[in-house]
Structure 1
């Protein structure tokens, strides 16, 4: 599992490096050589899209997500676990419902290509399908963990007597 986590982090760092290099290259080409190019902007935007969705799917841990917890922070562990299960079930259902339409749309985008890189949009936007499947899988795992008495967001097991 650690190897996969490292791989996910390396991919994210690589995408960030691509954005940085493209940005610097764009500045140098425009202001030093007076040669404005558009492909660097396209590379930066596409790498940003992949970085955000890749990071949310594989790098960000549950305890690192931003949560509005003013309700769950003021209830007991059992209620918090129940709220976590309900929330995760809702996420699984909603993402599963949108997945066929998202797949159809991404597949349809094979008819379009990017302006400068001449890459098909279905390839560029395929990261959204990967992201959706990862969100579903993560929330299914959260449901299992919560039913076992562990809180994935806290990254610490709940007390033995508090399981549902």
Structure 2
């Protein structure tokens, strides 16, 4: 049963990577279109900037929520790499509790604010801001779930991986 869940998780992560790549391609295409119109045709089109910014917000938050692994996050390796398994477990528990509390306490206000933003729209494409910023709610919930899982794993005695510089790569 666990193998089936792992396979499903890997498949879902792969689809999230596909969506992220598609958004990045879209942002790049719109960026090139903006350059062609501005410098090639001497016409200014504002909607391309709007699309680029919206896609950037979604790329960062969607990617952080569903694609970036915990081991790929930025940390102070100076402390992390030199710590024992027990110390890394304690650091993970402390960070998990702090982030769960921070995101949990702010979540109702975030949901309320994003819902309130339905009254505003973007300048060119008239996209409602609640649609645009709804990804932050998804991101916050994903971070709560991720750090609950990491905290529980650390409490159960599973230490997070120590940084191994021999395994460092560009992500490929």
Number of aligned residue pairs: 155
Aligned counterpart, 2:3: none
Structure 2 gaps, min length 5: 1-8, 164-172
1:137 offset after TM fit, Å?
0.4
Question: C-alpha separation between the residues in 1 aligned to 2:156 and 2:146?
Answer: 15
Question: C-alpha separation between the residues in 2 aligned to 1:15 and 1:60?
Answer: 15
Quick check: 2:31–2:52 contact (8 Å CA) kept in 1? Answer: yes
Aligned counterpart, 1:159: none
Structure 1 residues 13-66: Cα deviation after superposition (integer angstroms, max 9, x where no partner): 011011100000011112222221000000000000000001111111011111
Quick check: 2:89–2:160 contact (8 Å CA) kept in 1? Answer: no
Question: C-alpha separation between the residues in 2 aligned to 1:154 and 1:127?
Answer: 31
Question: C-alpha separation between the residues in 1 aligned to 2:130 and 2:113?
Answer: 8
Matched, 1:97 2:113: no
**SS of the residue aligned with 1:125?**
helix
Aligned counterpart, 2:23: 15
Question: C-alpha separation between the residues in 2 aligned to 1:79 and 1:24?
Answer: 48
Match of 2:72 among 54, 64, 69: 64
Aligned counterpart, 2:35: 27
1:77 offset after TM fit, Å?
1.6
Question: C-alpha separation between the residues in 1 aligned to 2:76 and 2:60?
Answer: 21
Aligned counterpart, 1:80: 88
Quick check: 1:62–1:152 contact (8 Å CA) kept in 2? Answer: no
Match of 1:53 among 44, 61, 64: 61
Matched, 1:144 2:152: yes
**SS of the residue aligned with 2:78?**
coil
- Give the root-mean-square deviation of aligned CA atoms: 1.5
Structure 1 gaps, min length 5: 156-164
Quick check: 2:80–2:162 contact (8 Å CA) kept in 1? Answer: no
Quick check: 1:63–1:154 contact (8 Å CA) kept in 2? Answer: no
Q: TM-score, normalised by structure 1?
A: 0.88
